Amino acid sequence: MIKIGFQPGALYRLLGTSLTEMLVYKDYDGEAIFGSKVLLTIDAFANAGNFEEMKGIADDFMFSLLSRIRSTTAIDQVIPEILRSGGMVKIETLVQNAHLSNRQFERAFKERMGVSAKFYSRVVRFTKAWLLKESNPRITWTGVAHECHYFDQMHLIRDFKEFAGTNPKEISDAFERQPFLAVKGIFY
């Protein structure tokens, strides 16, 4: 299996399509989005002899798309700040750094990311909390909440319920009952 990940905002720069519009659809046809080169790439994957060859095919495919990528704008430059800060950068700071009005910033951010900057920041902070607990199973959820700058544990639980559909304790309990689900930090 080959997975190609994009930096936040890069898919918009590559496709020129609003992620807000893209989130409406559940199924995408690679050929419709990237052209017939996708079919040739899929055939090349099927005939590849090993992973290194597949990696080279994926690299060639992605490099062939670079001519389509739009240059970065101020908003593209501030999106990574959310990741670097673990979701804790103030939106006003991002707006100022992007040299846009609040309204322009929110519109451009949502166009690129498919969600508001505030919501995306919450997802980043939740992800940080999840990864912290995953890599340090002995840390308490209160410790995780503190380390990830949640106001209190209830705010962490609220995000857990929204993003994971359950509370942190239920997830911890499930992994304790079935330790085979966690292998070297990878969940199956």
Using the predicted structure, report yes or no on whether residue 182 has a pLDDT greater than 70: no
Does this model's pTM top 0.85? no
Q: Residues 97-155: pLDDT tens digits?
A: 999 999 999 999 999 998 999 999 999 999 999 899 888 888 889 999 999 999 988 99
Cα angle: 64, vertex 30, 74; to 5 degrees: 60
Q: Residue 183: beta bridge partners? A: 186
Q: Residues 60-106: pLDDT tens digits?
A: 999 998 888 888 889 999 999 999 999 999 999 999 999 999 999 99
- Minimal CA–CA distance to 130: which of 138, 120, 141? 141
What end-to-end distance do the CA atoms of the chain give, in Å?
15
CATH T-level topology, domain 119-187:
Arc Repressor Mutant, subunit A (1.10.10)
| Start-end of CATH 1.10.10 domains in the chain | 119-187
Query: What pLDDT does 180 receive?
Result: 53
- Minimal CA–CA distance to 72: which of 6, 4, 10? 10
Q: Contact 56/150 with Cβ under 8 angstroms?
A: no
Q: Contact 30/103 with Cβ under 8 angstroms?
A: no
